[in-house]
Every structure is written in C-alpha cells, then in structure tokens.
Amino acid sequence: MQSHKLITSPATTTIPLKELHLSAKNKAKINQLLEEFTFLEALQKYQLPVAHKILLYGASGCGKTATANAIARELNKPIVTLHLGNFVSSKLGATAKNITDVFTSAQLKKAVLFIDEFDFIGKTRDYDQKDSGEMKRLVNVLLQLIDNLATDTLLICATNHIQAIDTALLRRFQLQLKFKAPTQKQLDAYYAHLIAKFPKELTTFKPIYNISYAEAKDLVFLNLKKNIILKEKQRKQFLFSYGTLQLEKVQLATYGRLLDGKDAVLPNYTLQQLQITDVSVLETSDQEFHPIAIKTNATEDTVSGKIFEITTAELLNTDAYEVDNYKRVLETFASGEQAWVYVKK
C-alpha cells in the first residue's frame, strides 16, 4: 500500500472561512490560530509556543472538514488529507511506515495535515490479541510523529467520537474545538445563506430542523434541483406538426389535452411516406404510413402544417411518440418564427 495513493487533493471549491457557520467561541479560537501562524517568526523569537495541533470533534456533518480546508485556504498552505479509517493496512507494520511518510511529506511542504476519522486509532481494544500489539505500536508511532511535528506544519484531526480516543493522544492537542448540531436559528440563517443567490421562485421548500449543516445543504440543493427541473418542464416550446400530431386522438394520448395551433409553412423541405412498425405508435395513430420531412434546400419545396405551443415536458412526450427514423431539429419558418420539427435522420 503506497501512501501517496491515499492522500487526497484539497477541493478547489473550498468554502471561505468567513462563510462557515461557526460558533462565536470556535470562530475566536480559529482567528487566534490564524494570527499566530501569520506572526509565527515574531512569536518564535520569544520562544512562545504556537498552537499547531488542533482537534475538531462533535456532530457529524457540522463543518469539521470544511473548517480544516478553510483554515488551509486562509493560511495559503497546501492541505494533505488522510482518512485514517481507510488508511490502516491489513499489514499493520506497513501502516506505521505509510503514516510516517505522510507526516514527512506534509512537513516538507509546510502544509496543513488533516487527519479524518481520528477516533479509528482509539479502537485498539476492538482488535484480537494477535493484532492488538501491532495497533499499540501504531499508536506509539503516531504519538512520536505528533510530538516531533514541526511548528510550521499545522495538524488538524477530526472525529465524531472523541470518547474513543486515548487520553495520551488527546493531551497532544493545544486546541480542541467542539462542533455542535445547529440550532433552529442557526439553520434558518444557513438556509437563507444557501438560497440567497438563487431566484426567489426556485427557493420554495419546507425547512427541516434537528439536522446537521450537511443534511441541510443536501435538502436545499435537492429542492432547488426539483424546482429548476419543474420550471424547465413548464417552459414554453413551439412544435411544428405536418402529420399525425395534428390528430385529436394522438394529442390526447401524447399530451392529455387538445392543442391550439396556427398555420405555418416550412421552407426547403419535402415529404415522403414512412411505414410504421412500432406497435404503440400504430395503436395511437391508427395509420400505417406517416409523413416524414426531408430537407432538400430547394426554394420551391415547402411543407405545410401547424405550430403548437407546448411545454418542455410535453416536448419530451413527443420525443417518446416519434419513432427512431425521426430526429428533432429547430428550424426557421416562412414567417420568420422558429419551432421544433421532426425530420428524417
């Protein structure tokens, strides 16, 4: 297992720190941390310790990973992310070497080293007698790596289960920030922030409380997508028909309603007859032969029919009705109007 394959790159869409919904207490501690790193050299002249080992703990989906990435962004440092639960090899001896390599890489880059699922290392008691010795050695290696971490490298660890972590490990962290599930007031503010850049008609949804920020984000985005799709389905489209779509029974079967159309002429096309073999289309139209438009680019060739106003959803129903010999194209008519028309592929 090669360590570099287990290091993920930082997300390019990192949320800025100022946009994270942090508690006032956590925000103050993080701001102090950023200032200490900004004035690192000045503090070192006085041999003052800089907090560079941080533990983020608490409810899942409440911003721990986003906070780690935002801190790296604020410090203009690369971030090395290690998911500890996925990293531990079945060959535990190899895992200690791999973790050492990750720490070395992070220190060479003067990076932010972010270790997720940090509680995994506290599960030593869950291993059988054969593996428990190896796991204890792994914990000892990790303790040494944390103790010897260079001051200009920031270590951020995250866990949802702080109670599973050995107290000897917990003592290594100068800062321990608790992330709580958001209150109703905080969620209302977060919902307002998420929908602020979208048109009002797209942002109708029923808010849910007693959930995490991640769940709230998923809820908002799901409803936004539903509303956008619904709006697109209802958007007006213009469709030119020269054949069976002008029949009432076909319109009722395809759209569930009758359409009002106006006469139109399509230039540069002529019609041929196409034999239909699709059973469902034959049952709907009761016609074995359907006309099919073929482009000739000859000025004397024209096709007469009607232009109907339909919705995007109804246009998709029309796609399902037409057989594979047709394709839908947007054409300009003699009147100068544009409409969709089904022509020969």
| DSSP output for 158-203 | EES-GGGS-HHHHTT-SEEEEEPPPPHHHHHHHHHHHHTTS-GGG-
- Residue 10 pLDDT greater than 90, yes or no: no
What burial class does residue 138 get, using C-beta atoms within 10 Å of its C-beta: 0-12 exposed, 13-18 middle, 19+ buried?
buried
Give the end-to-end CA distance of the chain in Å, rounded to a whole number. Answer: 52
Residue 148 CA to residue 103 CA, distance in Å, equals: 10
Ranges 32-36, 75-79, 93-97, 202-206: which has the least confidence = 93-97
* Angle of helix 213-234 versus helix 184-195 axis, rounded to 10: 40
- Residue 89 pLDDT greater than 50, yes or no: yes
Q: How many residues does the chain have?
A: 345
Q: Give the per-residue SS3 of 234-275.
A: HCEEEEEECCHHHCHHHHHHHHCCCCCEEEEEEECEEEEEEE
- Residue 134 pLDDT greater than 80, yes or no: no
Q: Give the percent of the chain with pLDDT over 70.
A: 90
Contact (CB, 8 A) for 320 and 249: no
pLDDT in tens, 241-294: 999 999 999 999 999 999 999 999 999 999 999 999 999 999 999 999 999 999
Model confidence, pTM: 0.74
Q: Which residues pair with 271 in a beta bridge?
A: 293
pLDDT at 124: 45
Residue 74 half-sphere exposure toward CB, CA atoms < 13 A = 22
Residue 59 CA to residue 30 CA, distance in Å, equals: 18
- Residue 217 pLDDT greater than 60, yes or no: yes
- Residue 85 pLDDT greater than 80, yes or no: no
> Hey, what are 295's tokens?
């482009």
